[in-house]
Amino acid sequence: MYTVEGDNDIMRIGFVLPRFSVTPVGGFKVVYEYAVHLAARGHQVDIFHPRRLSTYRSWEDRFKEPLWIQRCQRQLRQHFWFPSVLDARGVRMRFVPVPSAAYIPDLDAIIATAWHTAPWIAALPSSKGRKFYFIQHYETWDGPKDEVDATWTLPLHKIVIARWLYDLGDRYFHQHAQLSYVPNGIDFDHLNITVPPSERSAHHIGMLYHRNHWKGTDIGLRALNLVREREPSIQVTLFGAPEPGLDIPPWMEYLRLPSPMQLQAFYNSCAIFVHPSLAEGWPLPPAEAMACGTAVAASGNDGVRDYAQHEKNALLSPPGDQEALAANILRLIREPNVRIRLALEGYRDIREHTWDIATNRFEQVLRQNL
Q: What CATH number corresponds to the domain at position 108?
A: 3.40.50.2000
Tell me, what's the pLDDT at 352?
A: 97
pLDDT of residue 55: 77
Would you say residue 248 lies in a domain?
A: yes
Based on the domain organization, do 244 and 340 belong to the same domain? Answer: yes
Say if 330 falls within a structural domain.
yes
Residues 222 and 344 in one domain: yes
CA distance 168 to 181: 12
Note whether 63 and 153 are same-domain residues. yes
Kindly state whether residues 22 and 168 are assigned to the same domain.
yes
Per-residue pLDDT of the chain (370 residues; tens, 9 = 90+): 444 444 569 999 999 999 999 988 899 999 999 999 999 999 999 999 999 998 777 877 788 899 999 999 999 989 899 989 998 999 999 999 999 999 999 999 999 999 999 999 999 999 999 999 999 999 999 999 999 999 999 999 999 999 999 999 999 999 999 999 999 999 999 999 999 999 999 999 999 999 999 999 999 999 999 999 999 999 999 999 999 999 999 999 999 999 999 999 999 999 999 999 999 999 999 999 999 999 999 999 999 999 999 999 999 999 999 999 999 999 999 999 999 999 999 999 999 999 999 999 999 999 999 9
Question: What is the count of structural domains for the chain?
Answer: 2
74 plus 130 within the same structural domain: yes
Q: Residues 112, 120: contact at Cβ < 8 Å?
A: yes
User: Is residue 42 in some structural domain?
Assistant: yes
In terms of domains, do 35 and 167 share one?
yes
Q: Are residues 332 and 272 in the same domain?
A: yes
329 belongs to a structural domain: yes
pTM for the full predicted model: 0.95
Is 5 within the bounds of a domain? no
Domain carrying residue 105: 12-185+354-368
Task: Give the pLDDT confidence score for residue 58 in this predicted structure.
Answer: 81
156 and 295 part of one domain: no
**Residue 6 belongs to some domain of the structure:** no
Q: At what angle do helices 26-40 and 355-368 cross, to 10 degrees?
A: 80
Domain shared by 212 and 92, yes or no? no
Residue 158 sits in the same domain as residue 286: no
Residue 7 is predicted with a pLDDT of 53
161 and 285 share one domain: no
Q: Would you say 223 and 272 are in contact if contact means Cβ atoms under 8 Å apart?
A: no
For residues 250 and 118, state if they share a domain. no
197 and 343 in contact (C-beta within 8 Å)?
A: yes
Inside any domain, residue 7:
no
Q: Is 60 inside any structural domain?
A: yes
Q: Note the pLDDT of residue 8.
A: 62
At 297, give phi and psi (nearest 5°): -110, 115
